[in-house]
Structure 1
Amino acid sequence: MDKLTVEDFSFVRGVFNGMSPKDSFLRFYGNIHFDSKGLPVIPHGLTINTRFSELEGRILSAARDSADALLQRHAQKLAEPMPEGTTDKSERLSLETQFSAWLDREDVQAFEYAENDLPAAFQQYIEDNNIQISTQQSEEVDRATLINEKVKALNELQTILAYRPKSDAETSIWLATTLHKALLKINVHTLGQLVKFISTAGRNWHRHIPRLGPVRGERLLAWLDDHADTLGPVSRATPQWGAYTPLKTRIKPLERLPLVPTLSYSAGSNVAAVPDKQLSQRAGIAPLEMLNVPPDLDGHTGLFRCSAPNHFGARTDMEAIQVWLATFLAAEKQRTFEAYRREVERFYIWCVNEAKVALSSVSASHAMGYQIFLKQIPKSYIGTTLVTREDPRWRPWRVQLTPRSQAYSLTVIKLMFSALCKAGYLSGNPFDSIKSAATLDRDMDTTRALNHGDLLWVKELIERDLGAHQVDSADLDDEDEPPVPDKGAAKGPSPTRLMRARRLRLIFNILLTTGLRLDELARARATDMFATQVGNTGDSEFLLRVVGKGKKVRTVFISNMTHQLMTDHHRDVEQQIIDAEGQSSPRLLAFRIERPLIASLVSSPAGASPSVIKKSQSVAIGSQGLYKTLKAFFRTQANRSIKRVLQQTTLIKGQQKLAGAAADAESFARLGLQLNHLQLDLQMWQRRTMMSTHWLRHTFASEALRTNPSDTGLKLTQQLLGHASITTTAKYVKQDESSKIKAAKLIFPEGI
């Protein structure tokens, strides 16, 4: 566009006011030139100084060609050459100091002067008080006065010559080509249509425009607001501009119908569920234990039934399913039982209601049919209300399954058929030939580990708490009771808080030096430790016997320091029980007989009776208590830093805005760099809020592999972590790609 725009005048005025041509261009042409992230850029090949000279020449030419005498006088003022500025920084600062001191005088009311009259008033003040000004200072005054006059002339020329955006103007004239094309896709052709669209769409209007994003959206909206006098204002009075109602995060309890029997499971029975009273069977969609299967579909004459007796002793498909599920209960694998029962009952409901086939008559074609069914489950099988299993509104699915969930479902059904075949109930597995269409990424996220900086941060916090005899109240776990304040007691550090700090240090040391799983640590007992028999380590170092996943037993090393921390923690627990209940406390006896590695700490006020302590509370802290203790520690400490970073960010953004308004390019750039550093800090603290107990296990695994970089080290790490397969341990090796990159660089470094 050949016409001079407001942005053109703003660019030239910014340079006059001291901004570098580059900073002025990035500030005033951001709506047209930006990168993929929405940040302003300078187009490749554009010479900014040439751009400034060309625009200055066009403004002068337009003013001189006008018949208006006033415009011609403004053009003459604009064309005056600038005096050479002083190079003596101290002289320049001295003049600025005098000017600031003059403005701060009580008898100087700045608002009585127009902005353009301030230099003349300051000059009059210097003459009236016979203040000596060096030649260089005089040149600075003259330079500042001329700059002020040039800016005033430029403002007057902008009022008459600048082309303002109109509501009927095409978006292609004022906006970038990519943004113009994106607006065409939503049928927005003019700036007036854009204002109307934003007013109607509401606060998240930018989400409706492809590839716009919040950064560019905010900048575009600010530009439209600047030109509201010619485009019309963006209306923010519609409900779409109001703040969203906060989501209700309170967990709703399960709805239970009155007078319905509840279910209980027993590992000693041959059925998957034993009701406390007789449940009524029903046809259609129902849980496994309440499903009424028609006689012709119960499987007693299934096509693929073996004629010989089976090891399950099952006569029907339901009996075979129940016995197979009961094997997991007998092995005390409650979670596996619940997960497998869910998938099996879904499949059996499909067999009875959709395929109309007995489980023992399922063929490969039926298996493929169920695979197709899982890709788009009918709404009648998806529940919208959270109810108990015996409720008639119960449904086997809650949402449509992801490809990974579909693959998992087929895998469980395949395992069940395989078990039925091995037990002699069926002659074949129809799911053996099913191929999953899902792409599974079974790699664990091994990057969830504490780096060196994280470890120093944790160590500093714990040492600070131990030194100050204080631990934040958010570090309390749910199994601990909060301390009861004693109004009459003197102020001072709480002994219980010091005990909690020592316990927190013990938890960190155990998890970081042993790699124990959360459940393994919760179930571990001091009686499972025994002295090492390796070398001359003596009795101060121990091995801990751990029962891990799959009931696999392994031993982990307990260092002397960790053992001492454990001893201190146990002494704290005993002291608390003695103070509350006395030396003859049954809880004290139970604790001394079978000491948990980590125990609960209970607070009571000074002089309180033993009844304050709940006698039924277990001394051992559970897995949930351990998890919440560490999670609260990470989240509370990191959130404090996040709050501080956000406050600093808000402060610096305000300072940067003032620097931009004052055309202070150097301060504007410096503050922008500080904002970038604060953004990196914010990301670091947000990452630390997500840390949990399993991050410490990953940290142990990564450190074990780093200090033992060999096949032997990989095998040892597998044993230390209790992995059933070494391929699981090997996934941690993928975390460090540096060695592979170095090796790859040595292969044909010069190419061919």
Structure 2
Amino acid sequence: MKTLPACARKLHRGHFAFMRALVQGIDSGEAWDRYLNIEGDRGDARRVRSAIAWMRSAFAAAARREQRPGTARLVLVDAQRWPDTGSAPAPAPPSLEEFVLASGMDGFSEAEQLERYAEVHGNGGTRLSRRARMIERQLQALQWLENLAAQEPLAGDSVHAWFDPRLAERLQRADLPTLHALIQRINGVGARWWTCVAGVGPVKATRIVQWLQTHESSIGHAVGDHALVLRSHLSRSDLDAVTPPATALRPLEKLQVPQALDGSNGRYRSPRDRNLLRADNDHRAIEAFLSTKDDMPATQRAYRREAERLLLWCVLEHGMALSSLSVEDADAYMRFLADPPGWWCGPRHRQRWSPLWRPLEGPLSAVARAQALTILRSLFGFLMKQGYLVGNPFAAVVPPRAPLRPLGSGRTLTKAQWKHVLAVINQASTPAQQLRGRAVRWLYATGLRGAELIAARCGHLKRVEFTDADGRPTVGWMLEVVGKGGRFREVPVPVNLVRELADALGAAGRAPSVDGASNVDVPVLARFGGPGKGPIGYSSNWLYQAAKAVFEDAARTLEGEASTRLLQASTHWLRHSHGSHALNPDELGAEVPIEIVRRNLGHSSIGTTSGYITTERDAQLRAMSKLWQHNAV
């Protein structure tokens, strides 16, 4: 990606205000902070000089375009370097008239007055007068140029048109090519929007936001109040107010369905006297279905996602009520999932309050479409049993054909990649990095689902005594987990992770023991507020983004396929890696019995766990290479 040339930059009124201050002798640092701090820190003298040189060059170019070569030369002159009467600045001399009155020479001839004026003030008065005239001429030229060349920022303008080339390049690389895209990202992510822009920190981000606020009338879009406050300081109602309900791409709770499409009179509605639900439209019927999954949050989210996508498609794309769908319509929807329009798609981690939220990340794979079909069959099956619908259109849809691959195939870290990630985690220097690394290590070590780790509390950790492989008594830790389908299991946890958790509790002023009575309800992953504030658990979204941040840090020090793989990795890859690495040890590792891995992962069937029994690619090639070499293939 190439940086646009300097000539592509535009001049705004702040450039002219800064240069007027410079011409009049005002401190350049103060003027920079007032008008141009978006360009960077005034302590960077090289950058300030470069910006001043660019502005003078841009002013001169504008004058030449208007056939004003004299003005072009004039604005290139530094008036403050014009010669003065001495080494130190001197006050401006009085005019001749003022001198005559003050010296009592009003009765003398003009020649005598001039001679005496020259004796007292010398030629310096003439030189200073020239500087004053130069300053006045430059100020007039800048005013003329401002009226001619100053522009107001517009929403569709490139960031290269208004920001320092280095800053603009960083924004461009973060997929923020225009001012509109930049404001959308700020409003869609919130106060910490800058964390996804390499090379932009909180100070620079604040300056960008202030500049956008200054020009919001011409841009036509404003930075929302919610984006000026840290998320932790915003209430649920503050976030809910960011995106109003509408008949548009909105989450289920904010989707307004037109009466003609709400299913009140759906084609395949059962007679009203057979309906066991209080729901009188499709939206409420979906809510009734989802309420049956209240005790399974992860399952409920998956079911809500599929029902939400279908209802949005019915309203925005198909123009038909959900309760009017035929088998042909259901089949059309499944084809839609394989090739959705771009405006339906966005990054997975955009939260539901955000205007950047989208129902899809991109086309669904055959496996994902098959899962969606299973869930939709369940939804319509429920509505049939409750007497809301007379049939299930998805029951007749042929599932997409997906190749049978080992569990986690394509979404598992190799052992070498995991060791590299672990090395990066061990180099973490900030508390935030250390917490993210600890979360990733818990996921890998235990094989827990993300929702299970988020729900884990210190009180779920139990100290146990057991005999090690050498027959010696020792102490270990088990984590009590209630997983999918409400199934209870106990999962071993490494002693060092429990010790680190105890240290974190002690550092927060709590009992430095995970089994302390006051720590029973403390989340295993938590942030601790100030005095008087209890621990606050993290969300599934935080966990997902924490893992992504760790993988991105690890990817920066690699190249090629290894780097690409880490950039694709997410929280669930760690669960797959746990199962794969346990069942497929390398030469130095120890194979874990499949029944133990099944219990760790919470699989109901050992057949599911056996899907992890694969040999990693490198090991496959090494083994086969020996065979080929031995048999002279």
Q: Which interval holds the TM-score relative to the shorter structure? A: 0.3 to 0.5
The structure whose Rg is larger is: 1
Normalising to structure 1: TM-score of the pair? 0.40
Normalising to structure 2: TM-score of the pair? 0.46
